[in-house]
Structure 1
Amino acid sequence: MLGIALVAAGYATVAVSDAMVKWVLPEIGTAAAMLWRGLFGALTIALLVRGRIPRAVNRRLLAARCALHCGVTVLFYLAWHRGMPLADSYAISAAAPLLMTLLAIPILGESVGWRRWASTAFGFCGVLVMLRPGGALWGADAMLLLIAVVLMAVTRIWMRLLARTDKPATITFWLMLAHVPAGLLLMPVLPPPQWLPSPGTMVLLVLLGASNGIAHWLFARAFALAPVSLLAPFEYSTLVWGTVLGFVVWGNFPAYGTLLGAAIVIAAGLYNLHRERLRRRESMKEATG
């Protein structure tokens, strides 16, 4: 129950954080947003643990995940900067659990039965409904996000592996800190529209970094307490949060085709989680005789 509460709070927090970064992106740009997010996020985690950041155990995997996650952040920020609504981006990212089902085969050595193969194929039909030519999401931004979702699925699986060896504070602190050099490296390519943020924007940047750091700490803590199959359905709550925030702040509402495709993807993802629970229950019964 604690894991469920933490992950639900994490997804609500990250949705608010994403709304803040989408708001400030026109003023500061992608590279600066990454830099400030990473700086204030790392400081927040350091304050939460009173400066006692546990040493990383699986350093190679931690470094690889941090680098890959920075790439995910860049692609999402670019799409939001170009005007993609939050809810639309969350609808595309709903495909991440389906991709995790497939990527778990080579990365974790898991086996997938024909039912989950069929439901995953059905789910990707939902992605095609969302990204169909001439549809509301058809365009380069959606393709960028689709690449980001593939990378995000890998980072989620790697977080499952890291949770076995490293503390949530370690995983989150280094993830946030990695955004600082990544933002600096991107400055020449994606220079900020203005170098000095306004006072109001600076307040949002502090809140952005703090909320993002807290959200990722909640995720790491939740996945260390509860199985993925129990927590994964709450990821779809971001579509609700994104729709509400997008409508209230920007007056955006997803197209019906986007909502239909997202519903298909979510239904397939929930069925896969149901099959995974059944499979684990059967394996536990076999193990106990």
Structure 2
Amino acid sequence: MSRPGARLAAFRYRGQRPAIGGSPLTLLGRPKEGQGEGQSEGRILLETRDPQGATCRWPRPPLSDRQPRAGAPMPRPASASVSAAASVSASATASGSGAPVPRATTPIAAAPPLPAAPPARPVLDDAVRGIGFIALGYAIIACADAAVKWALPQVGPAAAMIWRGVFGAIAIALLARGASLRPVNGRLIAGRSLLHCAVTLVYYIAWVRAMPLADSYAVTAAAPLLMTLLAIPLLGEAVGWRRWTSTGVGFAGVLVMLQPDGALWRWEAAMLLGGVGFLALTRIWTRLLTRTDSPATIAFWLLLAHIPVGLLLLPFFPPPRLLPDAPTVLALVFLGTANGAAHFLFARAFAIAPVSVLAPFEYTTLVWGLVLGLLIWGEFPAAATLAGAGIVIAAGLYNLHRERVRAREARMGAAR
């Protein structure tokens, strides 16, 4: 006989005698697990007979539906509906008469509601924080470059590299707070660090030859365009015709800056343009190194490499003075610590914000170069330099826009 759904809801096995409502049932037996109607439910069945003599087979209720034995503590319900179910009286058989005797129970009150959580404090968007870190980092780098340009006539390029390496590596080690700085891809880190030392030497030679700070930054603006070209063979990136066109327009802006009889028509500018090519290559290698090494590790070994390279270059670039004066020493200490702090800010920014958001702020160094060069040395770039730099920056920003479009199209294609 199949069990009615209403009876199943009222049925409770109390360890003594089963009952439906208040009517007792006769327990006939407990078949083994998985037999009869309860086979799909995997519970022990009970065979009962109601007062009319009909035989029923019932699945044994789960533990959560059974009432505890006499004297056992009642579990605390999680809601009012559970406490109402727990307040149903148990049936007991009166001695001698066989009539059920109801046993009164006290309903259990529901647990008091938890106090509402305080409203969460608004968290600044990660992209905004990353922009703040990267903008501050480039401002610090520009100030450090101004400091070393001011100190170079007294110490020379080789000694300036040593000062930068010593205090920059110390600053990175302190900011890392005990994190491991051991490189994973040691060969690539060594190659990148040595190549970056060559870039540093090129800039220091140009500055010691009285090249204006803003002019050097204007030439540096071509680095993202060179990165676009180098990413094709080194990273396997595909460049469409739009980016090819904008890159060509950007190099036309470089020619505007380096036009004959212009302010940048000098061998230092040509040397600096070659250094910018090395700089673009080091940034491509940085993208590869971030797959294996932390940014702090990359920056630490880059600055540390300046010490032995500077020592090797001392015979070729001897310092004009054996011991610089106190203001020059302070400028060189600031150079090293500022470079370390800036690289740490760069690492923090690229860890919390997308590269496409942060890349345009690289051009803010040109603004800082204009301001610092005008305040310290009274330098101001020529009109052709500013016009060419504007063309280069516009081309770089367009390339960045196309990278965003391609990334968005790739995400949409992957989601389909």
Q: TM-score range by the shorter chain?
A: over 0.9
Identify the residue that residue 158 of structure 2 maps to in structure 1: 31
1:118 to 237, 240, 245: 245
> Which residue number in structure 2 is paired with residue 222 of structure 1?
349
Q: TM-score, normalised by structure 1?
A: 0.97
Of residues 53-62 and 71-80 in structure 1, the stretch that sits farther from structure 2 once superposed is: 53-62
Shift of 1:214: 1.1
Any stretches of 5+ residues in structure 2 without a counterpart?
1-126
Which of these residues, 311, 317, 322, is aligned with residue 190 of structure 1?
Answer: 317
Residues 137-164 of structure 1, C-alpha deviation per residue, up to 9 Å, x if partnerless? Answer: 0011101110110000111111122222
Alignment match, 2:27: none
1:219-270 CA distance string (max 9 Å, x none): 2333343333222110100000000000000000010000000000000000
SS at match of 2:292: coil
Q: Aligned equivalents of 2:165 and 2:178: distance in 1?
A: 16
Are the equivalent residues in 2 in contact too, given 1:246–1:253 (CA < 8 A)? yes
Instruction: Report the equivalent of 2:373.
Output: 246
Percent of aligned pairs sharing the same letter: 65
Moved more, 151-160 or 258-267: 151-160
TM-score by length of 2: 0.68
C-alpha separation in 2, matches of 1:216 and 1:88: 23
- Give 1:28 shift: 0.3
RCO higher in structure (CA 8 A, sep ≥6): 1
C-alpha offsets along residues 260-284 of structure 1, whole Å, 9 cap, x if unaligned? 0000000000000000100000011
Residues 1-289 of structure 1: pairs in structure 2 closer than 5 A? 1=127, 2-289=129-416
Structure ID, larger Rg: 2
Q: Counterparts of 1:28 and 1:162 in 2: how far apart (Å)? A: 33
8 Å CA contact retained: 1:116, 1:272: yes
Q: Equivalent residue of 1:192, what SS?
A: coil
| Equivalent-residue separation in structure 2 for 1:225 and 1:126 (angstroms) | 33
Give the Cα–Cα distance (whole angstroms) in 2 for the partners of residues 51 and 176 of structure 1: 18
Tell me the secondary structure at the aligned position of residue 144 of structure 2: helix
Of 95-104 and 218-227, more deviation after overlay is shown by 218-227
**Using the alignment, how far apart are the partners of 2:282 and 2:355 within structure 1?**
14
Q: Which moved more, 1:254-263 or 1:216-225?
A: 216-225
Please tell me whether the aligned partners of residues 175 and 344 of structure 2 are also in contact (alpha carbons under 8 angstroms): no
Q: Matched residue of 1:215: which SS? A: helix
Shift of 1:209: 0.3
For 2:265 and 2:220, locate their aligned partners in 1 and report how far apart those are by CA, in whole Å: 15
Separation in 2, partners of 1:20, 1:145: 19
Whole-angstrom distance in 1 between the partners of 2:201 and 2:391: 27
Distance in structure 2 (CA, Å) of the matches to 1:160 and 1:223: 11
Query: How far apart in 2 are the matches of 1:230 and 1:52?
Result: 27
Aligned mates of 2:235, 2:180 — CA distance in 1: 28
From the two aligned structures, give the one with the greater strand fraction: 2
CA shift at 1:204, angstroms?
A: 1.2
Give distance in 1, aligned partners of 2:335 and 2:188.
Answer: 26
Structure 1 vs Structure 2 CA RMSD: 1.1
How far apart are 1:76 and its partner, in Å?
0.3
